[in-house]
């Protein structure tokens, strides 16, 4: 299909461009420390 062909031939994109594909990027921060939180459950 046209979409499959497009995806197979596209060049690598940085992770910030993934939002254009509709894939949410989790960005969770601890309220008190402001430290980023990343766990298997949050992804």
* pLDDT value at residue 33: 94
| Domain range list for the chain | 2-37
Separation of alpha carbons 6 and 36, rounded Å: 34
Instruction: Tell me the pLDDT of the chain (43 aa) as tens digits.
Output: 887 887 777 776 666 555 566 666 667 889 999 998 877 776 6
- Give the phi and the psi of residue 15 in degrees, each rounded to 5: -60, -30
pTM > 0.75: yes or no: no
Residue 23 DSSP class: -
């Amino acid at each position: 299909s046209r979409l499959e062909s497009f995806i197979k031939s596209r060049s690598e994109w940085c992770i910030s461009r993934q939002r254009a594909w509709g894939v949410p990027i989790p960005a969770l921060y601890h309220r008190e420390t402001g430290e980023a939180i990343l766990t298997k459950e949050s992804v």
